[in-house]
Structure 1
Amino acid sequence: MKLRDGGAPQSLLEVVAPIHRAAIEFREEMQVSAGSGTGEDGNGSGTRSSVVTERLTTQEAAQLTGLTDGYWRRLARRGDVTASRSGRRGEWVLDGSSVAAWVADRRDRHREAA
């Protein structure tokens, strides 16, 4: 979904930003509630990744989008979103940009249908 100038469509950027912010907030809440402190990396700067490299669990994607984690696992299995399996249990880890693109595409299709 890149434009000729290498940028992303505005509709995609409108979806990516809130997902990115919510993922950061969710992780910070989880770190603090798990007793790991403030989420600082030792030199005072927060541990925040860029939107392009943001990775989400299916549970995080579900919380951010209102869809179930089972639905996100199905999308990952079918290859509808970029994802990989991680950990001993082989849980799905979703690419945040891919999630945002899928949500933007779904939103655009619903707008066209209306």
Structure 2
Amino acid sequence: MTTRIYRQPKAAGQSGFHGTHTWVLDYGQSAQRHPDPLMGWTGSSRDTQSQVRLRFESSDAAVAYARKHAIAYNLEQPAPAHTRKPKVYADNFAANRVENWTH
């Protein structure tokens, strides 16, 4: 079974970056999940590794842990961050504005 080592993404519903600087070693799902006949819950009682997510300060620490414990891993580099050009409301009324102001 191959594990994933990745940097946690920013939460889509939040504007902050808290928790996005840690790297995660995720085992993933190794066994197929099945519904419980009595309650209808979905789960697998035999696969407890899918519930484990280890957090590390750097990708090097996560890779070192995987190598030390002989765990096959796939290191996923994060996508480059998009930089935004700040916009200022006063630029709408600047004398050297290139385009005409429209509603």
TM-score interval (norm. to shorter): under 0.3
In terms of fraction of residues, the more helix-rich structure is: 1
Q: Whose strand fraction is larger, Structure 1's or Structure 2's?
A: 2
Q: Using structure 1 for the length normalisation, give the TM-score.
A: 0.25
